Amino acid sequence: MTPDRKPVVVLVHGLWNKVSIFGRLGPFLEERGWDVHAVDLIPNNGDISIAQQAYQLKSFITGSLEDRQTFYLLGFSMGGLVSRYYLQRLGGLHRVQRFIGVAVPHYGSALAWFKWNIGVRQMRTGSSFLADLNRDMAQLSVCRPLWLWTPYDLLVLPAHHCCIPIGESKRLPVRTHNEMLWDERSLSAIAWGLKH
């Protein structure tokens, strides 16, 4: 990165979200000197697999950033699993300087048993998808992951499934899952994580 180029961060939304979920975070980061990119995953309802969404992320990065340009990556909720697949299976580790996962169901969520489409089934606790992704999670250490989570999360159940033993975890007293993207404490933690 040249001295006059802004650092780049790519934001990846979760299930049923669109890039508008970053309506507060995006401007917050831009005000602090970041070049912010956000990908719209289509469809966003889990009708395609997390791997297919990760290929969309890879295509977005290829089309939006220069070849071999390094960047920071932030994944929210299911977008954190999409990001992990990109990192662990699609060669993203060599480009990402730091990965921040916000309210990511690394070990699944009990709520995923209420839907039957493939992307949601893959987020069930004990799914073969999560078992495979978690089997070699240690490789994530090269992008210095930071996991942000709240014990009050009612979409990732139980909430501690947002923590894995790689990288650093920060527990935040934020009231809800989605507020992790606009609560001042979360925004400060994200900004801190991107600087360090």
What residues does each domain of the chain span?
Answer: 8-195
pLDDT over 90, % of the chain: 96
CATH match of 8-195 with 1.20.950.20: no
The candidate with the shortest Cα–Cα distance to 39, out of 21, 15, 17, 57, is 57
pLDDT band with cut points at 50, 70 and 90 for residue 92: very high
pLDDT for 5 = 86
Q: Which residue has the higher pLDDT, 127 or 3?
A: 127
Give yes or no for residue 2 having a pLDDT over 90: no
pLDDT band with cut points at 50, 70 and 90 for residue 111: very high
Q: How far is CA 40 from CA 3, 20, 82, 172, in A?
A: 30, 9, 12, 27
